Amino acid sequence: MIRKELMEGVSLTYLPARKFKTGLLSAHFLTPLDRGSAAVRALLPAVLRRGTVGSPDMGAISARLDRLYGAELDYTVRKKGECQCVGFVGSFIDDAYALGGEKLLEPVAELMGEMILAPVTRSGRFLPDYVESERDNLADAIRSIRNDKRDWADLRLLQELCAGEAYGVSRLGDEKSVEKTSPQKLYAEYRRLVISAPMELFYCGSAELSRVEDALLNAFSALPRQGVAPVPVTERHRPRQETRVVREGMDVTQGKLGMGFSCTSDDESALLLGNLLFGGSSNSKLFLNVREKLSLCYYASSLYHRQKGLITVSSGVEFADFQPAYEEILSQLQALRQGQLEPWELDAAKGVLRSAYAAMEDSQGRLENFYLGQAIEGRSDSPEDLSREMEETSAERIFRAMETVKLDTVYYLERKEAKA
């Protein structure tokens, strides 16, 4: 893996690989996650994808991609810590597998550059029809989260756990902000990004570095860079002194119990394994004991938010089982803190991570997602490096790290009482 700055505020991660039959190219603007602008920025790449000056509609863009042996070029909106990443990912046949050795990197980079630098506009704004259509699509995506009560409870837990912190903001923003986004407002935000937002480029494939640099410099040379902002930094969560409990009512058939924990240990490998042992796999204490053995939850799992120093638990419970489930989840965490761990449990957790790191090396998409996160954090560890660190992590390190895990926020979605 090689990191290079191509131009002001534009960095490239180059990952040479000859084992894939495709090449992968991505470009993302990095912006601070912000409640007031998250929806506007989430809408932007969808509108940019609708047409360019040279290919003004989806039909023309599809025709160009078809001529490139069915290359794909899609927009993405991601959340990495407290950074919102908006941009494009392209996948195309590697030169070695194209007819006659035709080179596809350059035309794919050119089209990606057009989408970002030469979108179709009218009178200094995006086309109203395109904006309205994609605004409806984004609003539908946001509503779908609320309609899936498990997803909604997970989002609400993060919002309450990280109240006043950027991490509590959804990567898609909120529906009200979407509705207020006009073509003019969207275009103004677009201009801010192309002028001053840092940009991350990624390439994985068989092309030499010099060729990748030339293709990307040609595609993005017209970026009007000025006063480029620093890459957004994720602030660690500020633990509460007392546990906060939030209960909300909706028309639900089962309760959704979410629990947010702060982690003050800096031993990331130990916390990663500790989370797997707690609730991050099908061999975890939450799954085997709370769900399977005691049948207190329909589902129960935990997630480690490394950048923020958090662990969150997501579970579905019968309304009558709220308190027993709550107490048993805490009991399982306490058991892990106290070293109640069988050798097979640690072996199984390490096996899960070992397989995950190996699978990452075999997927260009996973590698791109991994190295985007690494670039944002200024880290250079490879999946292989992290796997080695994991293998060396002892049970004692895990116990010490998990001792710093403290309950911070509880969110319970319960049945809304009918009004008399």
SS3 1: coil
376 and 312, same domain (yes or no): yes
Q: What is residue 99's predicted lDDT score, i.e. its pLDDT?
A: 82
Residue 290 DSSP label = I
Q: Indicate whether 227 belongs to any domain.
A: no
What pLDDT sits at residue 202? 98
Is residue 225 situated within a structural domain?
Answer: no
- The H-assigned helical ranges of 148-290 are 149-161, 175-179, 183-196, 209-220, 268-275, 285
Predicted confidence band of residue 385 (pLDDT cuts 50, 70, 90) = very high
What whole-number percentage of the chain has pLDDT above 70? Answer: 99
Distance CA 222, CA 8 (A): 12
Q: Measured in Å, how far apart are the chain's first and last C-alpha atoms? A: 65
**pLDDT tens, position by position, 82-138:** 999 999 999 999 988 888 778 999 999 999 999 999 999 998 899 999 999 999 999
The angle, 0 to 180 degrees and rounded to 10, between the axes of the packed helices 268-275 and 343-361 is 110
> Which tens digits make up the pLDDT trace of 153-206?
999 999 999 999 999 999 999 999 999 999 999 999 999 999 999 999 999 999
Beta bridge partners of 26: 89, 202
Predicted local confidence at residue 170, as pLDDT: 96
pLDDT at 308 over 90: yes
Residue 233 belongs to a domain: no
3-state secondary structure of 387: helix
**Whole-number pLDDT of residue 98:** 84
My answer on whether 248 and 336 are in the same domain is yes
pLDDT class for 227, splitting at 50, 70, 90?
Answer: very high
How confident is residue 418, by pLDDT bands cut at 50, 70 and 90?
A: very low
Q: Are residues 275 and 331 in the same domain?
A: yes
- Does residue 371 carry a pLDDT above 70? yes
Angle at alpha carbon of residue 59, lines to 57 and 61, rounded to 5°: 70
pLDDT averaged over every residue in the chain:
95
Residues 159 and 266 reside in one and the same domain:
no
| C-alpha distances in Å from residue 170, one per residue of 180, 309, 374 | 17, 18, 21
Provide the CA 397 distance to its chain's centre, in angstroms: 28
Kindly report the three-state secondary structure assignment for every residue of 217-252. HHHHCCCCCCCCCCCCCCCCCCCCCCCEEEEEEECC
Last residue in a domain, options 220, 255, 276: 220
Non-local CB neighbours of 173 within 8 Å, separated by 6+ positions: 35, 37, 38, 39, 40, 41, 42, 138, 142
Residue type, 83: C
What CATH number corresponds to the domain at position 285?
Answer: 3.30.830.10
Q: How far apart are CA 303 and CA 307, in angstroms?
A: 12
Answer with the residue of higher pLDDT: 417 or 235. Answer: 235
163 and 67 part of one domain: yes
Asked if the structure places residue 270 within a domain, the reply is: yes
Q: Is residue 238 part of a domain?
A: no
DSSP single-letter state for residue 29: E
Q: So what's the pLDDT on residue 419? A: 45
Task: Let me know if residue 388 belongs to a domain.
Answer: yes
Q: Is 162 strand, coil or helix?
A: coil
Average pLDDT over residues 386-398: 97
Residues 119 and 63 in one domain: yes
User: Mean pLDDT over residues 42-56, rounded?
Assistant: 97
Q: Which of 220, 255, 290 is the last residue of a domain?
A: 220
Residues 345 and 216 in one domain: no
Output the pLDDT for position 123.
87
Q: Is the Cβ–Cβ distance between 137 and 130 less than 8 Å?
A: no
The DSSP element (H or E) to which 180 belongs, if any, is: none
Residue 117 lies in a domain: yes
Residue 383's domain comprises 244-415
The verdict on 68 and 178 lying in the same domain is yes
Confidence check: pLDDT of 417 > 50:
yes
Let me know whether 190 and 259 are in one domain.
no
Same domain, 350 and 387: yes
DSSP letter (8 states) at residue 254: S
Report the C-alpha dihedral over residues 111, 117, 120, 124, rounded to 10 degrees: 180
- The verdict on residue 235 lying in a domain is no
- Which pLDDT belongs to residue 420? 41
Q: Do 209 and 248 share a structural domain?
A: no
Number of domains within the chain: 2
174 and 283 housed in the same domain:
no
Model pLDDT for residues 1-39, shown as the tens digit of each residue = 999 999 999 999 999 999 999 999 999 999 999 999 999
Q: In the structure encoding, which two tokens stand for residue 106, read together?
A: 């350059």
Domain end: 176, 204, 220, which one? 220
Tokens found for residue 248: 């909300």
Q: For residues 28 and 5, give the distance between their C-alpha atoms in angstroms, rounded to a whole number.
A: 14
Higher pLDDT, 333 or 100: 333
